[in-house]
Amino acid sequence: MKTIRLTAAQACVRYLANQLNEDGVPYIAGVWAIFGHGNVAGIGEALYGIREELPTYRGQNEQSMAHAAIAYAKQLGRRRAMAVTSSIGPGALNMVTAAALAHVNRLPVLFIPGDVFANRGPDPVLQQIEDFEDGTVSANDCFKPVSRYFDRIERPEQLLTALPRAFRTLTDPADCGPVTLAFCQDVQAEAYDYPESFFARKTWRFRRPEPDVIELEAAVAAIKAARNPVIVAGGGVHFSGATAVLKAFVEKHKIPVVETQAGKSALAWDHAYNFGPVGVTGCESANIVSEKADLVIGVGTRFQDFTTGSWALFKNPDRKILALNVQPYDSAKHDAIPLVADARVGLEKISAALGDHVFAEPDTGLKASWFAKADAVTAAPKDANTLPTDMQVIGAVQRASRDNTVVMCAAGTMPGELHQLWKAKLPLSYHMEYGFSCMGYEIAGGLGIKMAEPERDVIVMVGDGSYMMMNSELATAVGMGVKITVVITDNRGYGCINRLQMGTGGAEFNNLYAHSNVSPIAIDFAAHAAAMGAKSHKVASISELEAALAAAREAAETTVIVIDTDPYPTPGAGGHWWDVAVPEVSAREEVNKARSAYEAALKERS
């Protein structure tokens, strides 16, 4: 057996560079890195030696560079991924939030945080967390509950088993999610005689599990027995590459489709059978057909509470759930009829078994009614001096977008209103991180999307609160020459949660600057963005916003556009009840009234 002597870090990155996807390109597209004493000498030296084959990207914050890596993988439908490396201690812990985001959203990312010395010679090393009762614990143990696979590399030869296991997880359609390889810093530098065969190029294929015959028969029988079925399209439709098959399926069998946040853009917004976004942030047309459905067919969805209206949306007393999902865990939720299979294969098999079985045409008038309301709230204000709403900002961005535009967001006011109002034409033209609803994902995520698909026009929608939490990868986008357009809506605080606080009877408190112990401050976001090298504008009206967006579309550089918005208005239509517990006892009458309404709503839940 021929061997090659390498440090463990050199072996790790060489292995990464030689793993291919089905298209014959490297599965790991690059490594995001912030170096410290836990990884600079080992992994840093190794990455330098392979920099022509495996690019290294320098981030500004460990969490945000991981967000960029995650968005990259999501935009490419999990067909490629990135690795992220940090030092030990705070650098590693900064990535735990991003790991949780990837875990919730079933997205692949390889975390390689530095770890303590395996030999414990300098114990305790700088930044080491000491557990007084367990000498094997380090800060990296925090990754365990938010990793699909976790391993600690304490000997160089452990890579021979750890790395294949890592890639099995990253590329598995059911188990896909974040992998953490906590890499002891002394081990990174230790040499070992590795088999040359370990570094041979390997292609990882993405399996398409076929459905079990008995489960398929039960699923087909349930559909044939239904009178008013509805399909809930989730993110699994995109990850399976099943958008065309879904379109053919619903056209053949005439079943209406509603979309989750992750599933939005599975069908074009104007497709006859796309009844729009569903659930808490859904529209009237989607929620009406969902309320009446006697069979809810989930395709690649995990039935999050925003999708189900905290399980109060599906009101038909005879309703059943059919869950087509590649992950058995998701297929068995809420006593669903399970169909464990790849989404594309599952739909094809069901359609073949259904033959010419069709349902009555759904009421397309519901869509027309909804879009009339949506168009009204997204139209430009008649009074140019009126402080615009977030809905009007969305309308301006929609009018400035093209079919190849990707609009993206993550948390705050915009996700709900974008889900309701945005008209997505092409698959993967709507990118929302709403599984974890993580503030700070937006700008780094926009960078990752543009790196994944440079030909797409990427527009990042972010509120002032989320921008303040994490904006530093804007400088990275500028420095890398990766053009994105960022629209900052400044409502001077956390407008979304302020409205939720008011909706549950609470006094306005600690959300908007005006109701906190921080004096109202006028932050010059345009100046801040310009200081990081972006082209920036502060606009005073929707018409100025549209002009700035047109200029940004033609510009070669990253552009940031800031507009003040009114923190209070909502679309006023659509949406659904969401279970947010209201205090049973309060000195505020408003809270007591909200509690009574809450208890009444609980009784309506199925």
Q: Which H, E and C letters describe 542-572, residue by residue?
A: HHHHHHHHHHHHHCCCCEEEEEECCCCCCCC
Tell me, yes or no, whether 352 and 388 share the same domain. Answer: no
pLDDT value of residue 94 = 98
pLDDT at 11 over 70: yes
In a domain, 589, yes or no: no
The number of C-alpha atoms within 13 Å of 391 and in the hemisphere containing its C-beta is 17
Mean residue pLDDT of the chain comes to 96
Domain stops at, among 363, 390, 417: 363
CATH code at position 266: 3.40.50.1220
Looking at residues 187-211, what average pLDDT do you find? 98
Q: Are 31 and 47 in contact (CB under 8 A)?
A: yes
Q: Are 223 and 42 in contact (CB under 8 A)?
A: no
Tell me, yes or no, whether 44 and 87 share the same domain. Answer: yes
pTM, two decimals, is: 0.97
The three-class DSSP label of residue 590 is helix
Three-state SS sequence of 466-484: HHHHCCCHHHHHHHHCCCC
φ and ψ at residue 127, rounded to 5 degrees: 75, 5
Q: Are 469 and 439 in contact (CB under 8 A)?
A: yes
In a domain, 604, yes or no: no
Q: Are 66 and 470 in contact (CB under 8 A)?
A: no
In a domain, 46, yes or no: yes
Place of tokens 């690795």: 83
pLDDT value of residue 114 = 98
Each residue's pLDDT tens digit, 283-307:
999 999 999 999 999 999 999 999 9
Q: What are 174's two structure tokens?
A: 């059911």
In a domain, 517, yes or no: yes
Each residue's pLDDT tens digit, 98-147:
999 999 999 999 999 999 999 999 999 999 999 999 999 999 999 999 99
In a domain, 577, yes or no: no
CATH code at position 408: 3.40.50.970
Tell me, yes or no, whether 275 and 157 share the same domain. Answer: no
> 58-77: buried (b, 16+ CB within 10 Å) or exposed (e) per residue?
ebbbbbbbbbbbbbbbbbbb
Domain stops at, among 178, 203, 228: 203
In a domain, 513, yes or no: yes
Tell me, yes or no, whether 351 and 388 share the same domain. Answer: no
pLDDT value of residue 386 = 86
Tell me, yes or no, whether 191 and 85 share the same domain. Answer: yes
Tell me, yes or no, whether 100 and 26 share the same domain. Answer: yes
Q: What are 434's two structure tokens?
A: 């709403």
Give the span between the Cα atoms of 97 and 545, in whole angstroms: 33
Domain stops at, among 203, 231, 261: 203
In a domain, 438, yes or no: yes
CA distances (Å), 264 to each of 27, 268, 346, 452, 518, in order?
A: 26, 9, 20, 19, 38
Question: To the nearest 10°, the Cα dihedral for 134, 135, 138, 143?
Answer: -50
Tell me, yes or no, whether 197 and 223 share the same domain. Answer: no
Task: Write down the H helix ranges in 230-281.
Answer: 235-239, 243-253
Q: Provide the number of structural domains found in the chain.
A: 3
* Nearest Cα to Cα of residue 505 among 413, 589, 445: 589
Give the span between the Cα atoms of 568 and 577, in whole angstroms: 18
Tell me, yes or no, whether 95 and 161 share the same domain. Answer: yes
Give the span between the Cα atoms of 263 and 299, in whole angstroms: 9
Give the span between the Cα atoms of 74 and 366, in whole angstroms: 32
Tell me, yes or no, whether 559 and 436 share the same domain. Answer: yes
Beta strands in 248-384 (DSSP E): 257-259, 274-277, 295-299, 320-325, 337-340
Q: What are 407's two structure tokens?
A: 């609009």
Give the span between the Cα atoms of 111 and 443, in whole angstroms: 20
pLDDT value of residue 606 = 61
Tell me, yes or no, whether 510 and 392 share the same domain. Answer: yes
In a domain, 208, yes or no: no
pLDDT at 520 over 80: no
* Nearest Cα to Cα of residue 19 among 67, 79, 74, 59: 79
Tell me, yes or no, whether 351 and 288 share the same domain. Answer: yes
Alpha carbon 218 to its chain centroid, in Å, reads 32
Tell me, yes or no, whether 418 and 547 share the same domain. Answer: yes
Domain extent for 96: 3-203
pLDDT at 244 over 70: yes
Q: What are 493's two structure tokens?
A: 């605080």
pLDDT value of residue 521 = 80
Contacts of 57 (CB under 8 A, 6+ apart): 30, 31, 32, 33, 65, 68, 476, 480
